[in-house]
């Protein structure tokens, strides 16, 4: 273990060896990395543990500088474990460079089938007694981390002291089609709100889309397309995302010796915003996190999008309507345009066709839950359907919800201590609302 200091914190790096397949504990192993954070003034105290599960899938735990955001509130009473879920961050990586070591596409897909919330929870349960001496701990799950927390309640509630969920209550039995069928109308509302705030962006978006449809520029091997441009709508799910998108669009064009063209600045910003080089598991596993039973996900977001023709960019250009941005969805074309994903196209196809996903949630166990749980549900969250979230909340015995329109999906980061304070008060029965 390696310990060092940040302002107000003592950080300690941990590495754990876990089975790739927990049903085969004597088989292949991988490494899971986690960073412990404790207040410098309490570094030698016997504090309860809180493990943080990041959103995603496919993102390592957030790298904080000192006690920023919610972490400063957490270390007032907890020893915090920032877990890089398997395949992310400093855990054994899974990407275009490492997956070929598994073999061909079939072997890669079989390997990645072990990278869902069920395996992440079993990693946690293997790690927990090594750190706590067997005592249960508190879980804080953001977005997909909340999906993992609900799986935790289903599979190993004995390991939990309490559970805090922010923007991450999954549908317990919905297929990916149900998720995206509910998502596209929400995304359309977010786009309409953006255009109402910045009406000048309607023509800018049309001009950018038309340029990309005609020219198809290449930025560092990343093919820039109208569909890729539309995917910038993922920004609209964050509290400042509409402003970020506007600032990106306002710098789109320059005039050079050959006329008007997309600026290098815009092309680089678009490439950076839409690249999966830093989080390929997000693209590979995004629909797999909804897989349960024999029905394949089968590129759900792409199929369901056809039910909402207003999202077709070329149709928008042929008429007078606005180009609609999309959001948190993965499509086959991602594996053609992004050099970080291109070698993994066949692997992604096999995952989309998979028909043996095990169930993730135990509804009977959740209905009999005894672990204190509180969840922040963000009103009209672009990433997680509010209706689905509230139905799940009603299915988990004792879960207390805080439904708020004050924050978007990134409320835990943006609201920091306030969000964590509210959830702790709810889960401890210190707040009536």
Whole-Å CA distances, 117 to 32, 207, 247: 14, 41, 36
**Please, where are the H alpha helices in 162-199?**
176-197
Output the six-digit token pair for 401. 């919800």
Given the residues 44, 356, 405, 432, select the one marked as catalytic: 356
Count, residues in the chain: 433
Supply φ then ψ for residue 371, to 5 degrees. -85, 130
- Residues with Cβ within 8 Å of residue 404, at least 6 apart in sequence: 376, 377, 378, 379, 411
CB-based contacts of 177-182 (< 8 A; 24+ apart in sequence):
177/300, 177/303, 177/304, 178/388, 179/290, 179/300, 179/385, 179/388, 180/300, 180/301, 180/304, 180/305, 180/329, 181/304, 181/307, 182/385, 182/387, 182/388
- Residue 83 to residue 19: CA distance in whole angstroms: 16
DSSP conformational letter for 233: G
- Residues with Cβ within 8 Å of residue 193, at least 6 apart in sequence: 236, 242
- Residues with Cβ within 8 Å of residue 39, at least 6 apart in sequence: 8, 9, 10, 67, 75, 76
Query: Which parts of 85-199 are beta strand (E)?
Result: 137-142, 160-166
Whole-Å CA distances, 396 to 36, 42, 56, 142, 401: 30, 35, 23, 18, 11
What does the buried/exposed string (b/e) look like for 80-110 if buried means 16 or more CB atoms within 10 Å of the residue's CB?
bbbbbbbbbbebbbbbbeebeebeebeebbb
Given the residues 84, 91, 114, 143, select the one marked as catalytic: 143
Given the residues 114, 222, 279, 409, select the one marked as catalytic: 409
- Residue 214 to residue 2: CA distance in whole angstroms: 53
Containing 130, the helix (H) or strand (E) segment is: helix 117-132
Containing 3, the helix (H) or strand (E) segment is: strand 2-6
- Residue 86 to residue 94: CA distance in whole angstroms: 9
Dihedral angle sign, alpha carbons of residues 67, 70, 75, 77: positive
Q: Which residue in the block uniquely carries the two structure tokens 């994903």?
A: 341
Known catalytic residue at 41: no
DSSP conformational letter for 143: T
Give the residue numbers annotated as catalytic, written as ranges.
143, 356, 409
């Amino acid at each position: 273990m390696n310990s060092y200091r940040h302002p107000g914190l003592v950080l300690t790096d941990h590495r754990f060896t876990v089975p790739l397949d927990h049903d085969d504990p004597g088989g292949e192993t991988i490494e899971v990395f986690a960073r412990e954070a404790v207040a410098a003034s309490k570094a030698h105290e016997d504090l309860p543990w809180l493990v943080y599960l990041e959103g995603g899938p496919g993102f390592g735990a957030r790298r904080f500088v000192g006690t920023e955001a919610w972490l400063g509130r957490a270390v007032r009473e907890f020893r915090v474990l920032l877990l890089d879920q398997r395949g992310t961050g400093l855990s054994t990586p899974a990407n275009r460079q490492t997956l070929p070591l598994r073999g061909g596409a079939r072997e890669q897909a079989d390997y990645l089938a072990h990278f869902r919330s069920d395996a992440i929870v079993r990693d946690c349960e293997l790690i927990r007694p090594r750190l706590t001496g067997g005592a249960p701990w508190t879980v804080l799950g953001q977005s997909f981390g909340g999906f993992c927390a609900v799986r935790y309640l289903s599979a190993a509630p004995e390991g939990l002291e309490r559970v805090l969920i922010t923007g991450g209550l999954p549908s317990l039995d919905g297929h990916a089609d149900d998720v995206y069928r509910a998502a596209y109308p929400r995304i359309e509302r977010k786009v309409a709100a953006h255009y109402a705030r910045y009406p000048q962006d309607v023509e800018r978006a049309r001009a950018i889309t038309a340029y990309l449809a005609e020219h198809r520029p290449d930025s560092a091997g990343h093919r820039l397309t109208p569909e890729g441009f539309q995917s910038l709508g993922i920004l609209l799910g964050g509290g400042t995302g509409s402003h970020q998108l506007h600032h990106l669009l306002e710098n789109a064009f320059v005039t050079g010796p050959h006329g008007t063209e997309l600026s290098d600045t815009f092309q680089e910003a678009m490439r950076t915003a839409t690249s999966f080089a830093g989080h390929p598991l997000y693209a590979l596993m995004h629909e797999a996190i909804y897989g349960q039973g024999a029905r394949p996900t089968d590129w759900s977001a792409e199929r369901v999008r056809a039910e909402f023709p207003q999202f077709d960019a070329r149709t928008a250009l042929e008429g007078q309507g606005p180009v609609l941005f999309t959001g948190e969805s993965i499509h086959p074309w991602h594996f053609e345009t992004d050099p970080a994903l291109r070698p993994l196209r066949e692997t992604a196809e096999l995952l989309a066709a998979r028909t043996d996903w095990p169930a993730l949630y135990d509804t009977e166990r959740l209905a009999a839950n005894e672990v204190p749980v509180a969840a922040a549900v963000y009103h009209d969250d672009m990433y997680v359907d509010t209706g689905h979230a509230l139905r799940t909340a009603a299915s988990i015995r004792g879960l207390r919800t805080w439904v708020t329109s004050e924050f978007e999906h990134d409320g835990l980061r943006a609201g920091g201590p306030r969000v964590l304070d509210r959830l702790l008060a709810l889960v401890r029965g210190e707040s009536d609302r």
